[in-house]
Amino acid sequence: GAGFDPKDFLDIDHLLSDEERDIRATVRSFVTDRVVPYVGDWFEEATIPRGLPRELGGLGVLGMHLEGYGCAGTGATAYGLACMELEAADSGVRSLVSVQGSLAMYAIWRWGSEEQKERWLPGMATGETIGCFGLTEPDAGSDPGAMRTRARRDGGDWVLDGRKMWITNGSIADVAVVWAGTDEGVRGFLVPAGTPGFTAPEIRKKLSLRASVTSELVLDGVRLPADAVLPEVSSLRGPLSCLNEARYGIVWGAAGAARTCLEAALEYAGERTAFGRPIAGTQIQQQKLAHMALEVNRATLLALHLGRLKDAGRLRPEQVSMGKLGNVNAALDVARTARQILGANGISLEYPVIRHMNNLESVVTYEGTADVHALVIGGALTGVQAFR
């Protein structure tokens, strides 16, 4: 009969379909071969291989939950499981996939014209074409409504001026989805790399998410044709709808990062001897490991619950906020505890733990800070909006 598996403590696997388990196994095997052995070096060198997007495209995870245009069209839970396995390897790799599929591709898929979808999505699904998503600015992060980037009509053209900051994939993108204020409200623009007046310098000196490209976008009189604007939305609802998708992936991803930290701590505690016995045999370390396992299992169950709601078309943004807040905070807690269990080795890139711990400092800030999500939940609970 089926024995008890401490690695799946709550027997969550039996809640998944065969197809979902297959997709998870495929992504897990990919990251085991192509990411895990190398990602410590990528992190140290602050680089990702140029070929990685195409490999991820070949794996089928780019725009995986979208229908048509070369996308796999899987369910939301399957997409979440893929995010979990990717982020179990590294948050930067999951970020690449989130930004490509849930932000850039989703923006075009949801708010673009038929011509825009046909022009961009198939190449983005294979990873031949890389996208980025420019919402945040140097002086407007949590409050994107305060953005200063402007687009004005000039005859049949649009002209964009402004600056975006902290943009994942910016310097490697072939197309930037740039959100700008217009006389008609906030609108999205597709800005191909190489357009005169558009540059994307890379941001250096990051101590988090180093296996991920982060950039500034500079828009200096960037002239675009009329068909560069996403026609179907002209309010903050446009970019915020994309964030719902990416945040949903992070709910799963954070549980994956936490799982890796738990596994590393368990293995280490079993092997490390102090005072003549394995530290795994001490009460204080067992209490920590039990707490970490509880958090990982609870985070995974929450992710799965939100996945089922999303598959049923019932997932609300406030629920995504609860998942993002809870799971990223839990993952940070697990990562910090694991780091201590590893002692001095906990600060080395020879182990995955400090890399995850540092990455999660970005994850807790981007896609809505923990404070922003607490305020979204607080607003829904009390009926009183506390942002402004």
Rule CB under 6 A: which of 83-102 touch ligand FAD? Answer: 99
Instruction: Please enumerate in sequence order all residues whose Cβ is within 8 A of that of 276, keeping only pairs 6 or more positions apart, or say none.
Output: none
Kindly write down the DSSP assignment for every residue of 281-350, as one continuous string: GSHHHHHHHHHHHHHHHHHHHHHHHHHHHHHTT---HHHHHHHHHHHHHHHHHHHHHHHHHTGGGGGSTT
Does residue 105 touch ligand FAD according to CB under 6 A? no
Note if 367 is an active site residue: yes
Q: How many CB atoms lie within 10 A of CB 358?
A: 18
Does residue 16 touch ligand TGC according to CB under 6 A? no
Neighbouring-strand partners of residue 202: 215
Checking DSSP bridges between strand 273-274 and strand 214-224, what pairing results, if any?
Answer: unpaired
Stretch that binds ligand TGC, among 9-17, 34-42, 142-150, 293-301 (CB under 6 A): 142-150
Does residue 136 touch ligand TGC according to CB under 6 A? yes
From ligand TGC, ligand FAD, none, interface partner of 217 (C-beta below 5 to 8 A by class): none
Q: How far apart are CA 3 and CA 362, in angstroms?
A: 38
Does residue 329 touch ligand FAD according to CB under 6 A? no
Between residues 116 and 244, which has the closer beta carbon with respect to ligand TGC? 244
Report in angstroms how near the CB of residue 319 gets to ligand FAD at its nearest: 20
Does residue 241 touch ligand FAD according to CB under 6 A? no
Cβ contact 139:181 at 8 Å: no
Report in angstroms how near the CB of residue 47 gets to ligand FAD at its nearest: 15
Between residues 57 and 238, which has the closer beta carbon with respect to ligand TGC? 238
Does residue 209 touch ligand FAD according to CB under 6 A? yes
Q: How far apart are CA 99 and CA 95, in angstroms?
A: 6
Does residue 135 touch ligand FAD according to CB under 6 A? yes
Closest CA to 265 of 155, 381, 194, 356: 356
Tokens standing for 40?
């410590």
String marking each residue 143-172 x if it binds ligand FAD according to CB under 6 A: -----------------------xxx----
Residues at the interface with ligand FAD (CB under 6 A): 99, 133-136, 141-142, 166-168, 209, 214, 362, 365-367, 369, 371-372, 387
User: Looking at the annotation, which residues are catalytic?
Assistant: 367
